[in-house]
Amino acid sequence: MHTVRTLLFWKYKLWKAVLFDRSRDSVIRNGTTALVLAVLLYTAYRFFHDLIFSYVTGLEEIGFLLIERLLSTGFLAFFLMLIVSSFVAVIAVMFRSDETEYLFSTPISALELFSSRFFDTAVFSSWAILVMALPMLLAYARVRGFGLAEYIIAGIFLLLPFVLSAVSLGAMLALGAVVLSRRVSMRKLVPAGMGLFAALVLAFAYLSRPTDLQIPFNEDFRSLNLFINNFHLNSHPFTPNFWLVQGLESLVRGRFADFGLYAAALLSSAFLALALLHLLAKNMFFPAWLASLEEISRLPTVRDRTRWNLLALVPAGSRIRALLTKDLILFLRDPSQWAQLIIILLLLVIYFINLRFVPTDIEIEHWRSIVVLMNFVFTGFVLATLAVRFIFPSISLEGSSFWVIGTAPIPAGELFREKFWSAFTVFFLIAEPMAVLAGLMLQLDGFYLVVTVSGILVMSITLSCLAVGFGAAFPSFAESDPSRIASSPGGILTITVSLGYVGCMAALVAVPLYRYTGYLVSGGMFPSVSIAVCSVLMLLLNVLMVFFAIRLGTRSLARREY
């Protein structure tokens, strides 16, 4: 225990030195990060509070039930993201780390080393997700009139065990995966594991019974009632997100026996997960670490030139082709990269499962426009998240090897174009089918479909450009974990700007949608003026953002000193 305390103390000193560095550059950097983070959190808080929760609580009878479901959906996503984030962080921090190798050469037991590094991992893998969850939680607490005591009780008895359960699960999965990799290569293991995980989640989604939540029948909310009742996955009584949300509800309503039950469910799950992790780490961490070293020496030879030949067909110069090929091979050979992509795609599948239950025979036209707008905003949010998570780190991930590109005769603009096109192609392949599929599932008519599909195409271009530009301007070459790069000050700035942009796009889409709905309901003139004005504004916004991103990125690349 003394050793763990010593290690944590020095880790604390290290972080204190980074965070409270009084040099001019650090003060500016840390101050800007804090400011941007505060603006981001406040904006998100106002968004949830003013635009969603305050509005929804005004809906008679179903308002709070709807909030419960929204919170539950949000926390299900956070729980899955925490598991994946912890899985990746454990692989990066505990296994592919010089620090671990050095510490294993000192007289520290494997369990002590694991315990100290697990703390590190838990903080790193959860803080960014918790920051994302904070505005939603605070907005909820505000509309529910939480006092200081409720904040403290909810934090300790609900949120903390919720996070610990997810992080421990992720760590256990990572340990198991590395041990198994002695027999099966990581290349086969990770997709198999992720496939199994995906199959389990999907099976759970299809087979689980919805809770017996019944909203009193009301003709105006008939369709909505049906929609809410069909949210299968996110309201299952055996999921931690359900316990968390029900715990919050019980706390606010003063049902302390119920609160105790849900808190006990979360706490016992967290203790069980930690106990299992302790047992696994005690017996498996050192063998797993050795296995991870052996894996490198067992790597097979590669004579596959198919990728080179396929990429020869890409209509680009040899420099861009060389960069594309390198990026593709590095991505394919890094299981942690595509494991995360799979999990994000999985979240999209869950979204589509829920979308399947949205009633398409909505008679109130305004509900239809709200569903269209919510789908647009959700897609924008997913794209912004994907951009900061996968595109923003692309230049940083060149890492110590960036000198190869830095000393090669490649103009900054060409490097920017390669990073943009490779990112945008993937984005296009994910976002456009998603937009079309969502449109078809919601049985949207021509105008709604055109707005959704074209809006998402434009957002894909601009968000890719922004992520490449900010990634070039704020690289973290010393960092090899993409999730840490994404949560660096530059990453936070990127997500802030991207979400602000998505918000502007949503506002510019909402006006013509609202006018068009009014036209369908009340008749009158087709709203061609508002559609034209908003289209021009949208075009201006996107041209401005793309120009800004290209200028920022290419200037940073060209002027970078090493």
Partner 1 sequence: MDAMVRIEGMTKRYGSRTAVSDLHLTVGKGEFFGYLGPNGSGKTTTIKSMIGLVRPDEGRVLVGGFDPASDPVEVRSRIGFVPDTPFVYGKLTAREFLRFVGGLYRMEPEDMDKRIDWLTGVFDMTGWLDRRIEGYSHGMKQKVVMAAAILHRPELIILDEPLVGLDPQSARMVKDMLTLINRHGTTIFMSSHDLSVVQELCQRMAIIYFGKIVAEGTLEDLRRQAEMDGGHLEDLFLKLTGGIRRATYLE
List interacting residues with partner 1 (CB under 8 A): 296-297, 299, 301-303, 308, 317-319, 321-323, 325-326, 329-330, 333-334, 399-401, 403-411, 558-562
Q: How far is the CB of 487 from partner 1 (least distance, A)?
A: 23
Tokens 């995966």, residue? 177
Q: Name the DSSP class of 61.
A: T
Q: How far is the CB of 555 from partner 1 (least distance, A)?
A: 13
* DSSP character string of 114-152: HHHHHHHHHHHHHHHHHHHHHHHHHHHHHHTT--HHHHH
**C-alpha span between 468 and 474 (Å, rounded):** 10
Q: Which two tokens stand for residue 325?
A: 């090929």
Q: How far is the CB of 321 from partner 1 (least distance, A)?
A: 6
Q: How far is the CB of 295 from partner 1 (least distance, A)?
A: 10
Closer Cβ to partner 1, 509 or 557, answer by number: 557
Closer Cβ to partner 1, 266 or 324, answer by number: 324
Check: CB of residue 339 under 8 Å from CB of residue 194.
Answer: yes
> Which spans in 144-210 are helix H?
148-154, 160-180, 186-207
Closer Cβ to partner 1, 25 or 219, answer by number: 25
Q: How far is the CB of 331 from partner 1 (least distance, A)?
A: 9
The H or E element containing residue 11 is helix 2-19
Tokens 């909030």, residue? 67
Closer Cβ to partner 1, 381 or 402, answer by number: 402
Closer Cβ to partner 1, 255 or 326, answer by number: 326
Tokens 């087709």, residue? 526
Closer Cβ to partner 1, 299 or 349, answer by number: 299
Closer Cβ to partner 1, 149 or 296, answer by number: 296
Q: How far is the CB of 496 from partner 1 (least distance, A)?
A: 30
Q: How far is the CB of 417 from partner 1 (least distance, A)?
A: 14
Residues 6+ apart with CB under 8 A from 200: none
Q: Which two tokens stand for residue 510?
A: 């909402």
Closer Cβ to partner 1, 237 or 411, answer by number: 411
Chain-centre distance for alpha carbon 1? 35
Residues 6+ apart with CB under 8 A from 16: none
Closer Cβ to partner 1, 184 or 404, answer by number: 404
Q: Which two tokens stand for residue 19?
A: 């965070």
Residues 6+ apart with CB under 8 A from 144: 248, 252
Q: How far is the CB of 482 from partner 1 (least distance, A)?
A: 14
Q: How far is the CB of 399 from partner 1 (least distance, A)?
A: 7
> Which spans in 387-486 are helix H?
393-396, 402-406, 412-441, 446-473, 482-486
Q: How far is the CB of 99 from partner 1 (least distance, A)?
A: 17
**C-alpha span between 160 and 156 (Å, rounded):** 5
**Segment 486-491 long-range contacts (CB within 8 Å, at least 24 positions apart):** 486/128, 486/388, 486/389, 486/392, 486/393, 487/124, 487/127, 487/128, 489/29, 489/30, 489/32, 489/33, 489/36, 490/392, 491/388, 491/392, 491/393
**C-alpha span between 149 and 151 (Å, rounded):** 5
Residues 6+ apart with CB under 8 A from 461: 424, 542, 546
Closer Cβ to partner 1, 179 or 415, answer by number: 415
Q: How far is the CB of 299 from partner 1 (least distance, A)?
A: 5
Q: How far is the CB of 53 from partner 1 (least distance, A)?
A: 46
Check: CB of residue 471 under 8 Å from CB of residue 391.
Answer: yes
Closer Cβ to partner 1, 191 or 518, answer by number: 191
**C-alpha span between 90 and 286 (Å, rounded):** 14
Question: Taking the chain, what is the end-to-end CA distance rounded to the nearest angstrom?
Answer: 41
Closer Cβ to partner 1, 409 or 523, answer by number: 409
Closer Cβ to partner 1, 209 or 559, answer by number: 559
Q: How far is the CB of 310 from partner 1 (least distance, A)?
A: 14
The H or E element containing residue 319 is helix 318-332
For residue 95, count other CB atoms closer than 10 A to its CB. 21
Closer Cβ to partner 1, 237 or 317, answer by number: 317
Q: How far is the CB of 83 from partner 1 (least distance, A)?
A: 25
